[in-house]
Amino acid sequence: MLRPADWSGLSLAVGLSVVESLDPQGTLGLGLKWPNDVWVPHQPTQWAKLAGILIETSATPAPTQPEERYCVIGVGVNMAKPDAQDLSIPAIGLRELVDTSSAPQALALIAKPLLATVLAFEAKGFAPLQAAFGQRDVLRDMPVTLSDGRQGIARGVDNTGVLRVETAQGMQLINSAEVRVRPSLKESQ
């Protein structure tokens, strides 16, 4: 059970922990695609998805006590390239990046730092991780298209993990629950 003051940015904190665990020196080029994917450069002008983060929370009604909230954090790392067609972003497996990777090895790299990150997030929130996220942010300063059709330039995240998108209508703050974001491939290639 977690009791952070603010749940905003948890998926970004988890993603950052995974990226820093699998690629601590940045030599693989692992990056974070807001709000919950781990991407790696695939070709000179393209990215491939290596991992995804899924977080579900649930509150338990407690009529006489403060609400309790439970959290399930899922981290899916492709160990081998998935055999899937028609993906909007190509997928890649960890074994394509690191010769000796196995699921137990990846778990051993990820689990302990992830627990430490989640506990630190509970105590301090996302703000202390904002700069580190910015260094791995694959969307920063890229043209993006939101699922509602709006277009703009991604300008990083604020100290709660909300995406900032500069549009013709001004700076828009995008909450992960509101919209999906994809790079505008025509402009970014």
Residue 85 corresponds to which amino acid? Q
3-state secondary structure (DSSP) of residue 166: strand
How many residues are there in the chain?
Answer: 189
pLDDT digits (tens, 9 = 90+) for 76-123: 999 998 887 777 788 999 999 987 678 899 999 999 999 999 999 989
Prediction pTM value: 0.87
Q: For the segment 126-138, what is each residue's pLDDT rounded down to a tens digit?
A: 999 999 999 999 9
Task: Quote the pLDDT of residue 184.
Answer: 55
Instruction: Please enumerate in sequence order all residues whose Cβ is within 8 A of that of 169, keeping only pairs 6 or more positions apart, or say none.
Output: 150
Do 184 and 144 form a contact (C-beta atoms < 8 A)? yes
Residue 8 has pLDDT above 90, yes or no: no
Q: Express each pLDDT in 15-34 by its tens digit.
A: 999 999 999 999 999 999 99
pLDDT bucket at 189, cuts 50 / 70 / 90 = very low
Tokens 């689990």 correspond to 111
| pLDDT recorded at residue 186 | 44
